[in-house]
Chain A
Amino acid sequence: MSSNLSKPWQAALDQITTWARINSPWAIHFNSGSCNGCDIEILATLTPRYDLERFGIKLQGSPRHADVLICTGPVSRQARERLIRTYEQMHEPKFVVAVGACALSGGIFQGCYNVMDGVENVIPVDAYIPGCPPRPEAIIDGIVKLLGSLQEPPADETDAGETIAAAAGEIAAAPHAGSEHG
């Protein structure tokens, strides 16, 4: 995606969007058939003891507003469609965090007839948090690691860097396109 901004402006804009994204990522939680253990622990990270909102993370209801998809569960066949739809509704760049043993590999449910054995078999995953369930601290640790990785743009302009740049371009292009019509 090309934008009409000159290079230095583009670079500055990229920096601002990355900064904004890291400081205030909005998350959506999707339960794909887990045992609830991981979900209560995710909810517990929002409560006073752990307070995930310190990092600017806000749990969002709608996938259209979210940057990070926090997914638990081994993905049951019935939830699979919904997971894909939720994922597709999110805007680029999007990041998926798989929480818990069963989201990583199916864990204890691997081989059950109705599960997909992990989120990765359905949608791409960016960060993995093992545990059954992981402690809230471990979940925070995983999310901090994910945010940390966004901070340093990859040396060779690979996937992540490109998607961020592309999204920045999109944002820059949008008002321009709007004014043409208006």
Chain B
Amino acid sequence: MQPQKTEQFTVPIGPQHPALKEPSSFLISVDGEVVTNAIVRLGYAHRGIEKATESRTYVQNLYLLERICGICSHIHGTAFAMGVERLAGVEVPPRAQAIRLIIAELERIHSHMLWLGVGAHQGGFDALFMFSWRDRETVMDLLESISGNRVNYSANVLGGVKFDLTAAHIGDILKALDYLEERTHHYLKVVTTDASFLQRTRGIGTMTRHQAEVLGAIGPTARASGVLRDVRIEAPYGAYVDHPVTTITDDRGDLEARFAVRIKELFESYRLIREVLDDLPPGDIKTRVKRKIPEGEAAFRVEAPRGELFYFIKSDGTDIPSRVKVRTPTICNMTSVVKLAVGHQLADVPMILAGIDPCFSCNDRMVRVNRNNGSDGWTWEQLRQHGIEYYKQRSQDYDPLVVG
């Protein structure tokens, strides 16, 4: 029989679409029900934040950068604050470091529970969505009572944190963690045993370890494919130096593994918070940082709930940064969605997209290559060579990357 001549059809999704809470646009070519190509169109949430940092003071930028993303707001603030503190050469008191860690881990819990709900919702499992969001309110209450705001906590100041933890807070946190731990065990069981849900996740969107490395996946998405990539381990910062984390990896690389990895990370967060609360260092919660930051450059990496978050800050000695560059985790994982979607059913695409825990407001950074004045882009090899030389010159001991 002759193969039927099939017609390609392109389905536009977004930017305003009920399945996506954020504006983003996908052009998905399908052959029947099977995806043959996917194109992402970004930039609906591009606000020009990096440019705006160049006209605001460091203090103002702390809040501006925190609002790059409302879900992982604290970690953006922390990365910027720590970078600036490194430039200014101030030592942050240990208690402030510990509080930063606790809020960062609470944020990770809230982010992962949020994602669990959204992921389940995309798979049509609304009961799990509703219940996980119900339990997420426990964390939101904690964050609100500690910081005074449910989402953009604004806990950081340059040189420390704004809020101290009282004994009442510690009691509340411990109580909430017990409740959450019990619920999380239940959710882990649900996503790994519920037959109808497994049909939507098992073997869908499988990314091999090799693919994950080549596509540059990071965060839980990479860890679900067996790639151990976690800044908290590669280059511990702040209180993570004294409180090491164990990373959870999974070799299967499909959606089920991504669910499992993220849920298991919750247990790690619970353990870490308990450990830090156990011996919370006494003392001050902030030191003074001068308004004018000494000249220099700093790069800072932290582990956001979605993966590695990178900040580059350049100061020219005034109270306004001369350049801030942000690289967010979602943009690194986006390529994997485009690659993995090919060959799957159209109905699986939202699940695959949800699997990387996308955050488009983080995503929409922009780089403009000005080709008119002869500054062509560099090839990958040139860039690599430049990087190697640059670090040789500065005899910088770069943290060895653990790859493979």
Interface residues of A (CB under 8 A from B): 29-41, 43-44, 47-49, 59-63, 73-74, 76, 78-79, 82, 86, 108-109, 111-115, 132-133, 135
Contact = CB atoms under 8 A, between A and B. Distances in A.
Contacts of A30: 16
A33 B68 contact: no
A37 B21 CA distance: 11
Contacts of A29: 21
Contact of A37 (B44, B49, B73, B130): B73
Given A36-B22, A61-B18, A114-B48, 6 more contacts: A39-B22, A79-B15, A109-B49, A112-B47, A113-B48, A132-B152
Nearest to A106: B47
5 contacts: A34-B361, A61-B17, A79-B45, A112-B51, A115-B47
Contacts of A48: 130-131, 133-134
B364 to A, nearest CB: 8
B238 interface: no
Most central of A30, A34, A111 by chain B CB within 10 Å = A34
Given A47-B134, A82-B16, A108-B63, A31 B45 contact: yes
Interface in B48-89: 48-49, 51-52, 55, 63-64, 67-71, 73
B49 to A, nearest CB: 7
B143 interface: no
A78 B130 contact: no
B23 interface: yes
Given A36-B69, A36-B359, A108-B67, A43 B46 contact: no
A80 B310 CA distance: 30
A34 B51 contact: no
A32 B48 CA distance: 14
B51 A133 contact: no
A107 to B, nearest CB: 8
A114 B56 CA distance: 16
A32 B24 CA distance: 10
B107 to A, nearest CB: 12
Given A30-B16, A40-B71, A135-B150, A114 B21 contact: no
B137 interface: yes
A92 B152 CA distance: 35
B146 interface: no
A73 B48 contact: no
A150 B15 CA distance: 31
Contacts of A59: 18
A135 to B, nearest CB: 6
A113 B43 contact: no
B151 interface: yes
Given A48-B133, A133-B152, A37 B70 contact: yes
A33 B44 contact: yes
Contacts of B131: 48
Contacts of B149: 132
Given A37-B151, A82-B15, A76 B46 contact: yes
A35 B48 contact: no
Nearest to A47: B133
B49 A112 contact: yes
A108 B61 CA distance: 10
Contacts of A78: 43-44, 46
Contacts of A76: 43-47
- A-B complex: 3 closest residue pairs judged by Cβ atoms: A37-B70, A61-B18, A36-B70
B23 A32 contact: yes
Contacts of B155: none
Contacts of B150: 41, 133, 135
B63 to A, nearest CB: 6
B52 A111 contact: yes
B40 to A, nearest CB: 14
A31 B21 contact: yes
A112 B67 contact: no
